[in-house]
Structure 1
Amino acid sequence: MRISTYLERSPNDLKRIKIAIIICFCLIFMYINYARFFNKGNNTLVDNRQLIFRLAESRCSKHPSVKATQKFIDLVKERTNGEIEIIKFDSSDLGNETNIAEQIEFGGIDFARVSTLYLSNYVDEINMFFLPNIFKDRNDIELLLDGEMGSLFTERLKNEKINLLAWYEGSRRGIYTNTSMIYLEGLKIGVPENETKMNEMISLSFSPIPVKVEDIYNYIKSGYIQGAENDLLEYYYNNNYEVAKYFYFMSCSYAPEALIASNTAIKQLTPEQQKIISEAAKDSAVYEKEEIIETETKVIEELKKAGINFVEYDHIEKFNEAFEKLYVPFRDKYVNLLNEITRIGEDDEK
């Protein structure tokens, strides 16, 4: 049957067809505008002016590193006059730090703050930072990262499609337990999924159990583990002090952190925008360091009042002897890095 004949015989259908045509045009228009506004990545290009990216954080909004990433976000928006907007997702909304690092590598997330514990999967030498007593103080770590070794790490990460924007400060690390019997062999200690940290616990005659940060509280409470190796601020913000009243500080043990970006995000920036991103990241790192040190002081005072017992590893000879054995496999593997650490320490004493 010809359409004209059909339309003549069905006037109500003509209205339906007209409506259908209008709807089709509306859908086509919406699709065109959607393609215009949204690119193929995770960010949004609005009117060819505004770029919107995502930044992933595993920690709660009160943590100094999260405040620093917010500082970075604010500086970028201000210095680009709103052309670049970064939306922050904290509290592991986009996954834990292992997931986040992987998503940065494959372009699934644009920016992130992660611990070097998880970047060591890409650059083996980073494991040196996790050895207790290897550095004299925070300043030595900062000098190393700001020098040739830091540049080497940056290049290695770039080869893995991870762009390092700035080094962040790590909170001081230690072992916290629900028992004062720290000498007890076979003590089950939760550790990050990192081989160096696992070996460290083994050297101390403990039984290391790989755990996620968010699981530590319930694992200690249930008796599955008796403690964990982690940093002071994670201990505090995750309320682990409620189930582990003894915190044993390692002498100068830190895991530096990093503000990183994906290749997908960087490639969408003009040279001028890349410069703004880089400078904002470095400025946020200065802010983060001040926040970390100030917050640590306040947290220690608060926890002491709450009855938490803090002990320095320096006072436990058994641990210092165990650490010496831990260093042996690293001496041959990372000769150049160890020499640089030694040189920095000697220069710092002059």
Structure 2
Amino acid sequence: MNIIKTTTAALLASVALTSTGYACEITLRSSDTHPDGYPTVAAVQHMGSLLEERSGGRLCVEVFHSAQLGEEKDTIEQTQLGVIDLNRVSLGPFNNIIEETKVFSLPYIFRGTDHMHNVVDGAVGDQILSEFENHNLVGLAYFDGGSRSFYNSQKPITSIDDIKGLKFRVMQSDVFVDMVDALGGNATPLPYGEVYSSIQTGVIDGAENNWPSFESSGHFEVAGHYTLDQHLIVPEILVMSKASWGKLSADDQALVRQAAKDSVPVMRDLWAAREAASEEKVRAAGVEIIDDIDKQPFMDAMVPVYEKHVTSEKLKSLVEAIRAVE
């Protein structure tokens, strides 16, 4: 635990110390639903420090964390319109907007975190980033979103049969809805900010997410059973409004791209430390963790999800390309 705290503190300190303190000519407003100190928030703040430093104080980033500018669906629309300049979101909400993003949200498409990194850092990742420009956005970088697993307030999930009949919150994505339905559960799309009260009041039985989100949201307080089926490893993405992008010079655009890219390793280090700390906190709180589950029945149940959503030759080619990456 001391190592985790030291690593996180050092990285956060490096984020703070890079600030130049200059008065900014252009301040880019950035949205994030996660709380202050969360790895994605700290990474975009680090990006802002790099931009400020490299532009001689002309370019800055102001991060509005904790959903101050709205939930993800609303902030995506605002970013497309140019009201918000930068936005860190999960790829899930983009699935119904940009077809190609669906492949990263397919259950068990990634064999692990290293495989996901190799995919998003390579040609497939670049290809999908380029698709955002057709939707008034500029894709800048991928961040980690961890592996997502089911948690609920009712009972431990030790097999696929235990999911039947349970109501799970999912992101507003058809892929996520169909995934839960294929497992026998009842999918309920809800904004992230409504999950805690919905579990607490019995509107839903649970949700699915990674260790840091499960912990930082307080969901572990109302959902005492967490099953590490790791059905999804969905990257997060940092996008910029195409309208805001168009107002920058070519040189400043290059600075923004590079700063975003350089924020990725910082985010990954912060994420690894935060993930370990969150897991330790949740386990210490007495949440029942089921980590020896047989994933194969879960994977077998995903066949109809792939058949429904991977229909075009383009998507089939992307899936093949992902699977071919070492």
Q: Shorter-chain TM-score: which interval?
A: 0.7 to 0.9
Distance 1:330 1:194, change over 3 A: closer
Query: What residue is the counterpart of 1:338 in the other structure?
Result: 319
Maintained 8 Å contact 1:251/1:312: no
1:74 to 49, 52, 57: 49
Query: What residue is the counterpart of 1:194 in the other structure?
Result: 173
1:110 to 56, 74, 85: 85
* Higher Cα Rg, which structure: 1
| Residue 228 of structure 1: how far off its partner (Å) | 0.7
Q: Please, which moves more after superposition, 269-278 or 204-213? A: 269-278
Query: What residue is the counterpart of 2:142 in the other structure?
Result: 167
| Residue 152 of structure 1: how far off its partner (Å) | 2.1
**2:207 matched to 1:233?**
no
| Residue 330 of structure 1: how far off its partner (Å) | 4.2
TM-score, scaled to structure 1: 0.80
Query: What residue is the counterpart of 1:156 in the other structure?
Result: 131
1:288 to 267, 289, 292: 267
| Residue 231 of structure 1: how far off its partner (Å) | 2.6
| Residue 151 of structure 1: how far off its partner (Å) | 2.4
| Residue 230 of structure 1: how far off its partner (Å) | 2.3
What is the number of equivalent residue pairs in this alignment? 299
Structure 2 counterpart SS, 1:102: helix
Amino acid at match of 2:40: S
In 2, Cα distance between the equivalents of 1:331 and 1:117? Answer: 15
1:140 to 111, 115, 127: 115
Q: Comparing both chains, which one has the higher relative contact order based on Cα–Cα distances under 8 Å and sequence gaps of 6 or more?
A: 2
Distance 1:179 1:200, change over 3 A: same
Maintained 8 Å contact 1:59/1:90: yes
Unaligned runs of 5+ in 1: 1-46
Query: What residue is the counterpart of 2:281 in the other structure?
Result: 302
Unaligned runs of 5+ in 2: 1-22
In 1, Cα distance between the equivalents of 2:33 and 2:230? Answer: 26
Structure 1 counterpart SS, 2:141: strand
Maintained 8 Å contact 2:229/2:295: no
Could you tell me the percent identity over the aligned residues?
26
Amino acid at match of 1:67: A
In 2, Cα distance between the equivalents of 1:247 and 1:181? Answer: 7
Structure 2 counterpart SS, 1:294: helix
| Residue 283 of structure 1: how far off its partner (Å) | 0.9
Query: What residue is the counterpart of 1:176 in the other structure?
Result: 151
Amino acid at match of 1:186: G
| Residue 328 of structure 1: how far off its partner (Å) | 2.9
In 2, Cα distance between the equivalents of 1:91 and 1:115? Answer: 14
Amino acid at match of 2:247: Q
1:24-45 CA-to-partner distances (Å, cap 9, x unmatched) read xxxxxxxxxxxxxxxxxxxxxx
In 2, Cα distance between the equivalents of 1:123 and 1:299? Answer: 32
1:104-138 CA-to-partner distances (Å, cap 9, x unmatched) read 11111111111111222332121222222221112
**2:250 matched to 1:271?**
yes
1:95 to 66, 70, 86: 70
Structure 1 counterpart SS, 2:267: helix
Query: What residue is the counterpart of 2:17 in the other structure?
Result: none
| Residue 325 of structure 1: how far off its partner (Å) | 3.7
Query: What residue is the counterpart of 2:234 in the other structure?
Result: 255
Stretches (4+) displaced over 3 A: 330-333
